[in-house]
Chains A and B, each alone.
Chain A
């Protein structure tokens, strides 16, 4: 099997053990595929093909079904995240409050090279629209200026990056 890429965090073998234990806890049942993909992504940051192959083998599922599931759900990533992540909420309230413009602005911003930029659906803070989630923290009533400041902050700090997502 190809090498499963290393990322920062827990040691390679340790992550493999955690994943194995998670699959064993679910009796290596194919029904648990989505749970296992969640666990795998938490451990590795994304779902590279060799990892999917390993999961398919352990859960005794056809590889195409595993990839079919992994690509059906938006939260699963087949590519590694960049250093930072920004999720612009495009729920109705945030859309009406200018979320699309913020998203476009972020995508075109020259300093967004380190950022995985995505749109999301309703994060449940409609009263504070528009919302942008930067590295897992929600920013309320975001304006282009606020975003600009946030991007500059990270650039200036030259930060090493944080674990994005939840």
Chain B
């Protein structure tokens, strides 16, 4: 493909879409499909056909529209509204204009759920069918790659990413530009780009939704990275548990290859880049970068000690750039609009937006995208609509098994990479679970410890055996069988794992315990005394003497 063909494809598709009377986008990612979105789409397509509206009204699938708890969601290009809780029976009203039918389940751009958001990564939701490359091109897709391949030097791309201040969205927030530079400067001849799509935190589905909803954005980001660091081969490592994301990536890669946007001589330049998909097989630890590389190489997903870090020695010993899905999804906009543009959004030290998967005891659960540094209160109370009536907010859990709980006292703190660690939590990849007073914090700590115990690879002793012992103590606590000495051992083990584990999984495994100990120690003490304040743990009542 050439620049002219890209512009032509874009214009043709735009004209085609402008000629439509209506374009109805049905949310087609995991959440809404679980709620029956597939049936809604089928009914709509049938109704369009029955009315002879083919060519005038188009029904497409699209990326996450956000409000997953009220799915299936459908958005209308004509009315610019999103409709919630749509059933196949609503088809007629959607086509014939029976807006009254959607009283109370219509969400306009000014609805509190959308008003507080700033959608960059998710900007194409509702506009792009993830299975059509033309849709992505019509929204300006692959223009950034054109620019990167034909008008920018690799060093200029790296400089632009550095200027944006973008920090890796995988959890730790390492500056993306620095990582790119390390790989780009390495003298080795073979280099690789790897997209970490092994999002395994329980309660996190941001990356999966991006891949399911806008896969070309990630491919484009990876190709630009390939150009910037001098790699010819990229890999996407996706979770085996996300069949839909896998299917969408496969389709997108095939389309991009067919259009010449991946492969040799991209945009008639000397730049060539291939992307292959590698599918994980159910191991959370493979989100750790050295374990992920081992898995791509067909081995047990066991981490190896760093240094050397992957930018120095990664896949097959070659310098390797690893970023996650959301990080790559930021790249096209940075190249297209400039690093300074992104740097102006969000917090000064953590620019850009962050996608959160908001779930738990919250009125409106789903996928939300806000500038980094937005307060927890805005996300939970304004966008999420607060906890349901009759419940009381107790804490929000971020960062999954590696993160911690944020109690009500910190609702106004900005959510960014530097603030959260200060209160014993972390951004993580974006899972955000709201908990109310019916949630037992000791049980939450036990839940995450069980997760880490099950997912420990077994290589290093502190993590393999330490998570087992810590889980045992937490289980005894939730059963009212713990002794005071268990508490000191729990803290001793926490220190051990935090300081001696081989990889991030073990190093972070004590975080949920430490953060609940810090903010909710009284609940631990109550359990020691044989009482669960939330009433969740079934502690046997002592026999009367």
Q: Which chain A positions have C-beta within 8 A of B451?
A: 121
In the bound complex, what is the Cα–Cα distance between A76 and B295 (angstroms)? 14
| Contact, CB under 8 Å: A34 / B359 | no
Task: Tell whether, in the assembled complex, residue B202 and residue A74 are in contact, meaning their CB atoms are under 8 Å apart.
Answer: no
Q: Which of A122-142 contact B (CB under 8 A)?
A: 122-129, 131, 138-140
Known: A125-B31, A128-B31, A128-B35. A32 touches B298 (CB 8 A): yes
> Which residue of the partner chain, among A29, A33, A122, A138, contacts B34 with CB atoms under 8 Å?
A138
Interchain residue pairs A-B with the least CB separation, the first 10: A127-B68, A74-B282, A73-B281, A124-B205, A126-B359, A127-B69, A92-B203, A91-B202, A33-B298, A127-B365
Alpha-carbon distance between A35 and B278 when the two chains are bound, in angstroms: 7
For A, the interface residue count at a CB cutoff of 8 angstroms equals 38
Say yes or no: is A24 at the interface (Cβ < 8 Å to chain B): no
For the complex, is B433 an interface residue (Cβ under 8 Å from A)? yes
In the bound complex, CA of A72 to CA of B361 (Å): 34
Q: Check if A35 sits within 8 Å of B300, measured CB to CB.
A: no
Q: Bound state CA distance, A122 and B201, in angstroms?
A: 7
Which B residues from 163 to 204 make CB contacts under 8 A with A?
A: 200-204
- Stretch of B102-110, B238-246, B464-472 on the interface side: B238-246
Tell me the B267-317 residues at the A interface (CB within 8 Å). 278-284, 295-302
CB distance from B309 to the nearest CB of A (A): 21
Would B33 and A138 count as touching, CB distance under 8 A? yes
A38 to B295, CA, bound (A): 13
Is B279's CB under 8 angstroms from A126's CB?
no
Smallest CB-CB separation from A68: which chain B residue? Answer: B300
- Chain A residues contacting B208 (CB-CB under 8 Å) are 124
CB of A90 within 8 Å of the partner chain: yes
The contact of A75 among B202, B282, B397, B457, by CB within 8 Å, is B282
Q: Quick one: which of A72, A76, A93, A166 contacts B203, CB cutoff 8 A?
A: A93
Known A-B contacts A31-B297, A124-B205, A129-B359; the reply to A96 vs B34 at CB < 8 A is no
List chain B residues, Cβ under 8 A from A73: 240, 280-283, 301
CB contact between A72 and one of B69, B243, B300, B397 (< 8 Å): that residue = B300
Residues of B within 8 A of A75 (CB): 240-241, 281-282
A18 to chain B, nearest CB (A): 17
Q: B30 touching A124 by the CB < 8 A rule?
A: yes
A111 to B363 Cα, complex, angstroms: 36
Given contacts A72-B283, A128-B71, 16 further A-B contacts (CB under 8 A): A33-B299, A69-B299, A72-B302, A73-B281, A73-B282, A74-B283, A91-B203, A96-B435, A123-B241, A125-B35, A125-B205, A126-B205, A127-B70, A127-B71, A140-B34, A140-B36
Q: A150 to chain B: closest CB distance in Å?
A: 14
* A residues adjacent to B (C-beta < 8 A): 29-35, 37-38, 65, 68-69, 72-76, 90-93, 95-96, 120-129, 131, 138-140, 166
> What is the bound-complex CA distance between A35 and B357, given in angstroms?
30
Tell me whether B366 is interfacial, beta carbon within 8 Å.
Answer: yes
Using a CB–CB cutoff of 8 Å, the interface residues on chain B facing chain A are 29-31, 33-36, 67-71, 200-205, 208-209, 240-243, 278-284, 295-302, 357, 359-361, 365-366, 397, 400, 431, 433, 435, 439, 447, 451, 457
Enumerate chain A residues within 8 angstroms of B357, measured Cβ to Cβ: 126
CB distance from B204 to the nearest CB of A (A): 6
Q: How far in angstroms is the closest Cβ of chain A from B503?
A: 15
Residue of A with least CB distance to B209: A124
How far is the CB of A132 from the nearest CB of chain B, in Å?
10
Q: Are B68 and A34 touching (Cβ within 8 A)?
A: no
Contacts of B281 in A (CB 8 A): 34, 37-38, 73-76
Output the nearest chain A residue to B205 by Cβ-Cβ distance.
A124
- Central interface residue in B241, B366, B435, by most chain A CB within 10 Å: B241
Q: How far is the CA of A73 from the CA of B455 in the complex (A)?
A: 10
Asked whether, in the complex, the Cβ of B298 is within 8 Å of the Cβ of A31, the reply is yes
Which residue of the partner chain B has the closest CB to A119? B454
A121 in contact with B241 (CB, 8 Å): yes
7 pairs, CB–CB < 8 Å, chain A vs chain B? A38-B279, A92-B203, A95-B447, A121-B202, A122-B203, A127-B359, A128-B34
* A127-B69, A127-B366 given; A92·B397 CB < 8 A: yes
The residues of B that contact A129 with a CB separation of less than 8 Å are 359
Complex Cα spacing A123 to B33, Å: 12
Complex formed: what's the CA distance from A115 to B359 in Å? Answer: 29
Q: Which residues of B have CB within 8 Å of A33?
A: 298-299
Question: Do the beta carbons of B360 and A96 come within 8 Å of each other?
Answer: yes
How far is it, in angstroms, between the C-alpha of A47 and the C-alpha of B534 when the chains are bound?
A: 45
Query: Contact at B298–A30, with CB atoms within 8 Å?
Result: yes
Contact B30 A125 (CB under 8 A): yes
Shortest Cβ distance from B457 into A: residue: A72
A139 CA to B359 CA in the complex, in Å?
A: 17
- The contact of A122 among B200, B360, B365, B435, by CB within 8 Å, is B200
- When distances are taken between beta carbons in the complex, the residues of chain B under 8 Å from A127 are 31, 67-71, 359, 365-366
Instruction: State the CA gap A33–B279 with chains docked (Å).
Output: 11
- Name A59's closest neighbour in chain B (CB-CB): B298
**Complex Cα gap A127–B243 (Å):** 19
Q: Which residue of A lies closest to B240 (CB)?
A: A75
Contact A92 B439 (CB under 8 A): no
With A38-B240, A69-B300, A96-B433 known as contacts, the answer to whether A124 contacts B360 (CB < 8 A) is no
Q: Which residues of B have CB within 8 Å of A121? A: 200, 202, 241, 284, 451
In the complex, the answer to whether A166 meets B243 with C-beta atoms within 8 Å is: yes
Complex interface: chain A residues within 8 A of B299 (CB): 33, 65, 69
User: Given the complex, which residues of B lie within 8 Å of A32, measured CB to CB?
Assistant: 298
How far apart sit A33 and B281, CA to CA, in the bound complex (Å)? 12
In the complex with contacts A30-B298, A68-B300, A93-B68 CB distance below 8 A: no
Q: How far is the CA of A125 from the CA of B67 in the complex (A)?
A: 11
**Could you tell me if A122 and B205 are in contact, using CB atoms closer than 8 angstroms?**
yes
